[in-house]
Amino acid sequence: MSVAESEKELSVYESMAARFDVAARKLNLDEGLCHYLRMPNREIIVHIPVMLDSGKLAVFDGYRVQHSIARGPCKGGVRFSPHVTLDEMRGLAAEMTWKCAVVNIPFGGAKGGVVCDPAKLSQGELERITRRYTAEILDYIGPERDVPAPDMNTNEQTMAWIMDTYSMHVRHTVTASVTGKPLDLGGSRGRRAATGRGCMIATDQALKRFGWKREATRVIIQGFGNVGSQAARLMHEAGYRIIGVADIGGGIFNTHGLDIAQLIEYVKEHRTVRGFPGGESIGPQEILEQDCEVLLPAATESVINSKNARKIKARILSEGANSPTTPPADDILFERGVFVIPDILANSGGVTVSYFEWVQDRQGYFWPEGMVNERLKHIMVNAFNDVVGYGERHNVNNRIAAYMLAIDRVAFSIKLRGIYA
């Protein structure tokens, strides 16, 4: 059971809708348009039959929710988790629309997932789930329609299977059908680290506003998967002091700073940060409440909620995960003067480099890593300044500013296109 459920806080969709309503009201958005933008364009539910290694037939529920195509094809991750729900997909798909609009790239939002526990499945079973899921949603995806990407418990290999399945059906190789692929199959240089790098770029901008130096900045990171480990590695290399890291198995804490390169090696072997000898052990929730300058949640949603928001000591919250903070917690953090870099800005580096990957695949021309990172920085710095500037001009917090900016951009595209009847 997630924290949101146990506390009867808002669901992922309800959280998105609550923020959307505040932003839409402030924008004086037309009522009909408001209704249209609040709901997804399309929701696909599939039931995936898969032969398990045991010879037993199992059926898994899968979803793909497409929120908006107003500014371009849909874009969004596919997650494998026992906690996937249609409500979660709805909320995250809409957030993808706002995220793409915040960084001003020509995509709308989507999200997909399969209700399964990857820890209990073999590689062969995961491959069969992925391929059948892809086949079930095939008519609705593709480079011009909807482009999946990795998310929780999915990775480059999953994307290679989706790309291959799609390509086999359309009878030619379509590398632009997914992003986050292996480099050898048309992936982009810099994609693997892009979300973590984006978090660092956004955090750097916040530091500038505070006049702080990286070396004097203590960082705590919850989640040590793709986003958390890459953010930790890059921030450590850039001079930040990473004093705490946690994953689902436990956490590790050292006020003098953790050796992230060693921690990455440790995790390769032990599959968790728990037990790393370079620090003291700490719980994955408890770690959020420790004294630090920057807190970077990079695990799962609703971890910062009305129960613990008052105990958060960080001055900057850089949201690597999607929806890590509930709306009631938002209000508490705002009251307490925490500078929040909202998820749709802080973790938009991944979708930005996914956009670069899609562009490169369509051109068949691949960029060096330096160019990818430089263009990512350019987009992220502009987006950060757009959001923070918008918030200052309209006297709203960064989250509502990001929503207002994004909704305004999407609404403008819809007005230009008109409503097809």
State the catalytic residues. 111
65 binds ligand NAD (CB under 6 A): no
Which residues 159-218 are close enough to bind ligand NAD by CB under 6 A?
195
Residue found under tokens 């982009």: 188
CB of 149 to ligand NAD, least distance (A): 7
245 binds ligand NAD (CB under 6 A): no
Q: Which stretch binds ligand NAD (CB under 6 A): 6-14, 182-190, 241-249, 304-312?
A: 241-249
264 binds ligand NAD (CB under 6 A): no
Buried (b) or exposed (e) across 392-421, using 16+ Cβ within 10 A? eeeebbbbbbbbbbbbebbbebbeeeeeee
Task: List beta partners, residue 46.
Answer: 62
CB 287 within 8 A of CB 263: no
Binder of ligand NAD out of 298, 304, 317, 410 (CB under 6 A):
298
CB 321 within 8 A of CB 151: no
Dihedral sign (CA 333, 336, 338, 341) = positive
379 binds ligand NAD (CB under 6 A): no
Q: Which is nearer to ligand NAD, 37 or 246 (CB)?
A: 246
Q: Which stretch binds ligand NAD (CB under 6 A): 23-31, 146-154, 166-174, 372-380?
A: 146-154
Residue 402 in tokens = 């990001």
227 binds ligand NAD (CB under 6 A): yes
322 binds ligand NAD (CB under 6 A): yes
Q: Which is nearer to ligand NAD, 89 or 388 (CB)?
A: 89
347 binds ligand NAD (CB under 6 A): yes
DSSP letter (8 states) at residue 326: -
CB of 249 to ligand NAD, least distance (A): 6
Residue closest to ligand NAD (Cβ): 225
- Full strand arrangement of the beta sheet holding 316-318: 280-282, 250-253, 241-247, 218-222, 294-297, 316-318, 339-341
Task: Give, in degrees to the nearest 5, the angle at Cα 355 between 384 and 199.
Answer: 35
Coil/strand/helix, residue 77: strand
Report how far residue 194's alpha carbon sits from residue 173's, in angstroms, rounded to the nearest whole number. Answer: 25
320 binds ligand NAD (CB under 6 A): yes
Coil/strand/helix, residue 272: coil
CB of 298 to ligand NAD, least distance (A): 5
152 binds ligand NAD (CB under 6 A): yes
CB 19 within 8 A of CB 403: yes
Q: Which is nearer to ligand NAD, 224 or 403 (CB)?
A: 224
CB of 108 to ligand NAD, least distance (A): 16
Binder of ligand NAD out of 58, 138, 248, 359 (CB under 6 A):
248
CB 10 within 8 A of CB 391: no
Which residues 15-44 are close enough to bind ligand NAD by CB under 6 A?
none
Residue 200 in tokens = 């660092």
153 binds ligand NAD (CB under 6 A): yes
Q: Which is nearer to ligand NAD, 177 or 348 (CB)?
A: 348
151 binds ligand NAD (CB under 6 A): yes
CB of 323 to ligand NAD, least distance (A): 7
Measure the N-to-C terminal CA separation of the chain; round to a whole number of Å. Answer: 43
Buried (b) or exposed (e) across 189-207, using 16+ Cβ within 10 A? bbbbbbbbbbbbbbbbbbb
CB 110 within 8 A of CB 64: yes
Q: Which stretch binds ligand NAD (CB under 6 A): 297-305, 325-333, 356-364, 409-417?
A: 297-305
CB of 357 to ligand NAD, least distance (A): 12
Q: Which stretch binds ligand NAD (CB under 6 A): 145-153, 162-170, 212-220, 355-363?
A: 145-153
Counting runs of H as helices and runs of E as strands, what totals does the chain give?
14, 12
316 binds ligand NAD (CB under 6 A): no
Instruction: Tell me whether strands 280-282 and 294-297 are parallel, antiparallel or unpaired.
Output: unpaired
CB 327 within 8 A of CB 236: no
321 binds ligand NAD (CB under 6 A): yes
Site residue total, ligand NAD (CB under 6 A): 24
- Full strand arrangement of the beta sheet holding 146-150: 42-51, 57-66, 108-115, 74-81, 146-150
**Using CB under 6 A as the criterion, which residues of the chain lie in contact with ligand NAD when the complex forms?**
150-153, 195, 222-228, 246-248, 284, 298-300, 320-322, 347, 350
